[in-house]
Structure 1
């Protein structure tokens, strides 16, 4: 009888996932096993493994879902993956130490942060080559582009600042001082505010993008890595805490902390805002969080050392 109850519960959970997240996949960079795991969020199961090499870290799925772009710091390369076919279709030498990556809304440019050169490389994905370089602050890590494609933000970790870049001129137009050691950066859907996870000061900086200024600071857990936005809340991975800190976007007040796997890093919200997906480095897993109920509903095993640093979710419909 107990087995039947458990089977029914598992089927029920599966139906919930199918109803809410059936049209998305997670493309997870596994730095230690040097590959990419594709997870079907409808079934909460891995469906493909793609060898990448070079200790892959950053990942960005193009807005149209056709390609996933993966940075490999050790190989100094950007790998282009056909997302539907699950195969590599290009490898671009970008030099330096590529880490964060972002794709323009129209897919016409891919931006790669070079950790060592204090620069962002601009890649033409059609020609598969670097076409420009933009000077930013020291140790650029996370990148994000506004929904209109006009501005690119770079979290410059060792400069304790965020660079605001005009994508048309490919010039830095403003520098915003934030907390200590900003790493991940996320822009809201309206393109009005950005949020940086500050690894050194254990907080999140809130940036008014138009005013190029920090307008708030939110205390979170130890060694925050990246931020996701959903349901009027911010969700922050706390690497040392093994938690996700949740805060209210309107009041900037803490809401709760959710226990996930060990050493959580990459984090993203599904397109419908109902689920938060977290990559746990030490647990070799993804935690799936119900963004409304604020609880973990399932865990998915992936490769060794998952980072999933960037926009790693892909809509399939």
Structure 2
């Protein structure tokens, strides 16, 4: 009983170790070594390497943690990985240039951005087949879904815009002009705002989803790639700067830049919001940032050319 009371007290004052607060894994796509590294974020070490092929880039882990879906642009394929078993259980020919990938909250539908076709492919994971295509803007890259699964947002890089897709009708409902060459896109937990990393204009566009319009811009570092949200802040990977730019979500004012590895790309916040995980393309590593103290606490070596573009974290409990 005494142990339980002490544990409860520690939790109430914020002394719970990170390992207990966030039992998660990172599924990091390594484009140059054609594989996927699974990193245990509690022990901060790789625990598995899974061969993928086709220069893997995008990745999305299902909400229940059962599967990871990985895009391979060179193979024109989507690979299905059993996350717990650490093995490939399917490969779907999607054609074109698959890049960004998103999974419906219930896991019943997978969406893949086709860079070359200005379209999003709709995939039924039960039959492992493409069942529909949705027209979006030129060079769709990042995809994100609202928490209720009703809307899919596509960052259309060469159209300088974001497409808003109704997932029930599978039709584009709106087109929102943003900064130059939007690439990564992230939606907040409430489904109210979206954030695009604009590679060409070195800023982040803030979108009001209900109103389907851009409501603000935040200057960041050179060639921003993707955005993560935690602790009331936005965290943006600056590829050319080797940094993560931090800004306040309420005021949209810059807060700090944190030096990470070389050419950071994929970025995600742990479920407890206490850590930010960053994939560093040139350093072949993953940086771990304390989201409260705003400093790098650890670095883990992974494969060659890590991108981790998408929702690449998996809860393990």
Fold match by TM threshold 0.5: yes
What secondary structure sits across from 1:252 in the alignment? coil
Aligned residues: 302
Cα distance in 2 between the residues matched to 1:16 and 1:302: 24
Alpha-carbon separation, structure 2, partners of 1:244 and 1:18: 23
| Aligned residue in 2 for 1:183 | 183
Structure 1 counterpart SS, 2:163 = strand
Match in the other structure for 2:21: 20
Q: Kindly state the Cα deviation for residue 16 of structure 1 after the two structures are TM-superposed.
A: 4.1
Q: Name 1:8's counterpart in structure 2.
A: none
Superposition deviation, residue 180 in structure 1: 0.1
Partner of 1:241: 241
Equivalent pair of 1:161/1:178 in contact (CA under 8 Å): yes
Q: How does 1:38-53 map to 2 (within 5 A)?
A: 38-53=38-53
What does residue 273 of structure 2 align with? Answer: 273
Q: Which runs of 5+ in 2 are unaligned?
A: 1-15
TM-score normalised to structure 1 length? 0.95
| Cα separation, 1, equivalents of 2:161 and 2:153 | 10
* Residue 71 (structure 2) aligns with: 71
Alignment of 1:142-181 (within 5 A): 142-181=142-181
In the alignment, the residues of structure 1 paired with residue 43 and residue 267 of structure 2 have an alpha-carbon distance, to the nearest angstrom, of 19
Counterpart in 2 of 1:108? 108
Q: Distance in 1 between matches of 2:21 and 2:123?
A: 34
C-alpha distance in 2 between matches for 1:217 and 1:59: 27
**Partner of 1:12 in structure 2?**
none
The correspondence of residues 120-269 of structure 1 with structure 2, limited to 5 A, is: 120-269=120-269
Alpha-carbon separation, structure 1, partners of 2:235 and 2:279: 13
Question: In structure 1, how many angstroms separate the alpha carbons of the residues matched to 2:152 and 2:135?
Answer: 12
Question: Residues of 2 paired with 1:182 and 1:242: CA distance?
Answer: 19
> 2:31 maps to which residue?
31
Contact 1:231 1:291 in 2 (8 A): yes
Report the counterpart of residue 7 of structure 2 in structure 1.
none
Q: TM-score, normalised by structure 2?
A: 0.95
1:310 is paired with a residue whose SS is strand
What residue is the counterpart of 1:54 in the other structure? Answer: 54
In 2, distance between residues paired with 1:300 and 1:19?
Answer: 19
Tell me, yes or no, if the aligned pair for 1:147 and 1:189 is still in contact at 8 Å. Answer: yes
Give secondary structure in 2 for the equivalent of 1:42: coil
Q: CA RMSD of the aligned region, Å?
A: 0.7
Q: Which runs of 5+ in 1 are unaligned?
A: 1-14
> 1:20 and 1:146 mapped to 2: Cα distance?
25
Supply the distance in 1 between the matched residues of 2:277 and 2:244 (Cα, whole angstroms): 11
**1: CA distance, partners of 2:253 / 2:246:** 9
Give yes or no for contact 1:17–1:44 (8 Å, CA) kept in 2: no
